[in-house]
Amino acid sequence: MKAVYAIVTVPAAPVRKAPNHRREMSNQLFFGEPVQITGQKDNQWLKVKSLYDGYTGWLTPHLVKGIDAATAMQESPFLASQFLTKIELANQLMQVPLGSTLPDFKKKEGVIAGIPYSCATQAINTATIKNKQAQLLENAHQWLNAPYLWGGKTILGVDCSGFAQTQYKLVGLPILRDAWEQALQGRPVPSLKKVQPADLAFFEDKGKIVHVGILLDSTTIIHAAGKVRIDPIDNKGIVNSDTGMRTHQLKCIRRFIE
């Protein structure tokens, strides 16, 4: 069977665990993200696999438009640069989230699924970012107090692994979606004494990876827990800076920027 592809043409498409609006939202796919369609149900739901990170789930057909394989495989270093970035698509305004991909983009204009669009705001060009570590940390601090949302990846709601993945995407470094997957990537760091800023720390519950955060240094971490916040960390894990309670048990540390 020939593979079928599509691309997201709305700001942030909710992806669900099962083909039902009442089922859990497990992810969001942003404008410009290509997917492979791997199944469908009742002509009302599509099962898709993200070509960015391989994540799968269900969404409704009106959130995407079909594209050919060659277009689906094209990569763009250009990303939306504002928390809500204004674009004009087919003579209609749209606000897309920070980190949305701008496909086939040049001189503030592009084409998505054969439809022309424009973006007057200066885009992020990840190919030109020289100090990825410093840029990632600067970006992450701008997300402070963003509320926690399971499956979310925007400033209006984000989960722990979505926060980590988005910060790395913004500097041109793709990592996988879920914390347990991210913990299998990168290079292991033996202890907090050996960490560098922007390393990812992973936390466990009953032996399973359940949380991830971005280390600012060997004693502090920025992470999405209730909201995006900065807390102290030690060899045992995270301590909530407001309550003094230990909230997460440290499992391992991985490095993605050398």
Task: Concatenate the DSSP letters of all residues of 205-245 into one string.
Answer: ETTEEEEEEEESSSSEEEEEESEEEEEEB-SSEEE-TTT--
C-alpha distances out from residue 27 to 151, 169, 196, 253, Å: 4, 15, 29, 24
C-alpha distances out from residue 159 to 23, 150, 227, 241, Å: 17, 5, 9, 19
Quick one: pLDDT at residue 1?
A: 54
| pLDDT category of residue 3 using cuts at 50, 70 and 90 | confident
| Mean pLDDT of the region 93-102 | 98
Name the CATH topology of 129-255: endopeptidase fold (from Nostoc punctiforme) (3.90.1720)
Q: Are 53 and 26 in contact (CB under 8 A)?
A: no
Q: Is 211 a catalytic residue?
A: yes
Quick one: pLDDT at residue 201?
A: 98
**CATH code of the domain occupying 4-73:** 2.30.30.40
**Candidate list 62, 119, 160, 252, residue with the active-site label:** 160
| pLDDT category of residue 228 using cuts at 50, 70 and 90 | very high
Instruction: Judge whether residue 2 has pLDDT over 80.
Output: no
Residues of the chain with CATH 3.90.1720.10: 129-255
Residue appearing with tokens 């900065």: 230
**Candidate list 21, 62, 141, 211, residue with the active-site label:** 211
Quick one: pLDDT at residue 124?
A: 98
| pLDDT category of residue 62 using cuts at 50, 70 and 90 | very high
Distance between CA atoms of 251 and 237, rounded to whole angstroms?
A: 8
C-alpha distances out from residue 181 to 17, 35, 57, 184, 252, Å: 17, 19, 16, 5, 13
**Candidate list 62, 223, 248, 252, residue with the active-site label:** 223
| Mean pLDDT of the region 165-172 | 98
CB atoms closer than 10 angstroms to residue 182: 23
Instruction: Judge whether residue 15 has pLDDT over 70.
Output: yes
Q: Is 223 a catalytic residue?
A: yes
Q: Is the dihedral of CA 176, 178, 184, 185 positive or negative?
A: positive
Q: Which two tokens stand for residue 140?
A: 């992450």
Residues of the chain with CATH 2.30.30.40: 4-73
Percentage of the chain with pLDDT > 70?
Answer: 99
> For residue 148, what is the DSSP state?
B
pTM for this structure? 0.97
